[in-house]
Amino acid sequence: MRRAGLAFLLGAMAMSTHAADAQGNWITPAEASQFRTTPSYAQTLAYLQHLQQAAPGKLKLETFGITPQGRPMTAVIASSDGTFTPDAARAAHKPVVLVQAGIHPGEIEGKDAGLMLLRDIAVTGKYPHLLDHVVLVYIPVYSVDGHEYSSPYNRINQNGPESMGFRGQAQYLNLNRDYIKADAPETLAWLKLWQTWRPDFLIDVHTTDGADYQYDLTWYTEDPHKLDPVVATWQHKLMVEQAIPAYENLGHLASIYLEFKDGRDPRKGIENFGSGPRFSTGYAALQNRPALLIETHMLKSYAVRVHAVYDLLRVVLDEIDRDPAALLAATSRAEADTIARANDVHAHVPLTFKPDPTSTPFELKGYAFTQTHSDISNDTWIQYDPSKPVTYHIENWNGLLPDVSTTPPVAYVVPGEWKTIIDKLDAHGIAYRRIGHPMKDVEATAYQIDQPQWASEPFEGHLMLQSFTLHAHPVEVTLPAGSVIVPMNQRAANVAMELLEPQAPDSLLHWGYLNAIFEAKEFGEPRVLEKLARDMMAKDPKLKAEFEQKLHDDPAFAANGRERLDFFFMRSPWYTVQRVGAYPVLRVDAGQLANIATK
């Protein structure tokens, strides 16, 4: 048994026995099995309904969506005084904390920890005042279909439970890569839940894999550069100054998230794992919300992992309940800052981030390990010895710095024919104004995108656009009826920018929703292009020289007859009139927006 979890496991087992004696039928299914198993979704809902019947003024179950296989997606609303609606929470000045488990259903500790915690808040009276000033929205299982596709073989390196859910949902999508592109029915339902409640804090519970170390839990929050300063300050105070010290005082050992630069040698240091808006915490950052990723350690026993989550949730909720006004002030100020930014012509918003080249010292509580050459993989095989705890002094490169930035427009314009884009705005609750009639001679700024390069294999159902060049230029266009104006003086402005700015890492362009703009629909036959090429060279000696230079410099081009002809076709009006690579979303400044308003 690993040292970090041994004492705590003994306490957890004693707690389970005591719970069975003192609480009778309130023992959870996982506790009843001594944490060998985790309950099915039907058993989970039955237990929650049992709790709700016992504490109707403190717990309320709601269905907020239906999965692809027809199962209900359930959320539990918990409050000490029956504050069960967003309006009631806001009227009472109570922050809303959203805790979700099972977005990866093989990593299910958050479900069983949540059942225990709700019981001890609402029924047994162990923590009767934990939600006096907070409303908890708890999703016991996010990916319900994946949860029910249970098997002992879904997680190759995990120490229990005996059977666990599958990482993908029924359509083989990873829901924790779907927040911004929002393909899955589950994500669309979650977004409606988010827009309804507008949580002030998000907690997402997972189980890590990878290296072995002494910690039974690691945690992650978004880099301060991705957050409004007031949110970053509140988040740091909560986790670093308050919650983690209190948590470790309970006998736990915790660490910041550990992404090793080289999994074959942890001594080479740790780095940022590269979160973004496709992930839960990255999406919350776009929404001006702090968020906490919890990662229990897969090699600790399931009992240790469940109790590790239970205690951290309890500590975090206790800290928020103690000073709810601080969280409400931070999220309110961040939203106000985002809205006010629309009037700042000097504002720069980072779209991408790069590693901070400056590291900081980090003390890793790990285990001794050996490194041997493998004749199977022809690589280094690392093997840990958990009987020998070792503290390593390594470097931490977790910090990020802004990389590509842009000045937000006053508004974006999406032509009405691009319904796919408008549907995504709707999914994320982004406000816009729809044009009811055609508008001619609208002045705006457009992007031209060239040299597109796509990934060689699909990712989450998409063949992603990996790289391209772009330049901005003024245009004068006619907008059809049904086009939409997306103002940036709104709380969801950051989400709109992520979707609509081409260089944003999770833009709709990067995800491949706009691939059609790179397809020429009209072509010339070779016999026609032969004559076109000769005519163009005769009229333009510089073009002839450019062609001959490319023949000299690019052997692959010189060997490809079709590319040689396309060299001329792509520089002719028969090609340019097709507007290949013309990005459809436009940017407008204050003056241009005012002109649109008068049309």
What is the predicted pLDDT for the residue at 209? 86
DSSP string, 158-192: ----SSB--SS-TTS--GGG-TTT--SHHHHHHHH
Phi, psi for residue 291 in degrees, rounded to 5: -150, 150
Buried b (16+ CB within 10 A) or exposed e, 454-487: eeeeeebbbebbeebeeeeeeeebebeebbbbbb
What is the predicted pLDDT for the residue at 15? 41
What is the predicted pLDDT for the residue at 325? 98
What is the predicted pLDDT for the residue at 22? 42
- Whether the Cβ atoms of residue 77 and residue 137 lie closer than 8 Å to each other: yes
What is the predicted pLDDT for the residue at 210? 83
What is the predicted pLDDT for the residue at 597? 83
Q: What is the DSSP letter of 365?
A: E
Q: What is the DSSP letter of 71?
A: P
- Whether the Cβ atoms of residue 498 and residue 504 lie closer than 8 Å to each other: yes
Neighbouring C-alpha atoms within 13 Å toward the C-beta of 583: 30
Phi, psi for residue 68 in degrees, rounded to 5: -55, -30
Buried b (16+ CB within 10 A) or exposed e, 356-384: beebeebebebbebeeeeeeeeeeeebeb
Q: What is the CA radius of gyration of the chain?
A: 28
Cα-based angle 514, 516, 522 (whole degrees, multiple of 5)? 155
Rounded CA separation 375/377 (Å): 6
- pTM exceeds cut of 0.75: yes
DSSP string, 409-455: PSEEEE-TT-HHHHHHHHHTT---EE-SS-EEEEEEEEEEEEEEEE-
Tell me the H-state helices in 445-525: 493-500
Rounded CA separation 218/522 (Å): 55
What is the predicted pLDDT for the residue at 419? 97
Which residues make Cβ contacts (< 8 Å) with residue 427, sequence separation at least 6? 182, 188, 191
Structure-derived torsion over alpha carbons of residues 147, 507, 515, 583, reported in degrees to the nearest 10: 160
pLDDT values of the chain reduced to their tens digit, one per residue, 599 residues? 444 444 444 444 444 433 433 445 799 999 999 999 999 999 999 999 999 999 999 999 999 999 999 999 999 999 999 999 999 999 999 999 999 999 999 999 999 999 999 999 999 999 999 999 999 999 999 999 999 999 999 999 999 999 999 999 999 999 999 999 999 999 999 999 999 999 999 999 999 988 999 999 999 999 999 999 999 999 999 999 999 999 999 999 999 999 999 999 999 999 999 999 999 999 999 999 999 999 999 999 999 999 999 999 999 999 999 999 999 999 999 999 999 999 898 999 999 999 999 999 999 999 999 999 999 999 999 999 999 999 999 999 999 999 999 999 999 999 999 999 999 999 999 999 999 999 999 999 999 999 999 999 999 999 999 999 999 999 999 999 999 999 999 999 999 999 999 999 999 999 999 999 999 899 899 999 999 999 999 999 999 999 999 999 999 999 999 999 999 998 999 988 888 999 999 999 999 999 888 87
Reduced DSSP (H G I as helix, E B as strand, rest coil) percent helix, strand, coil of the chain, to 5: 40, 25, 40
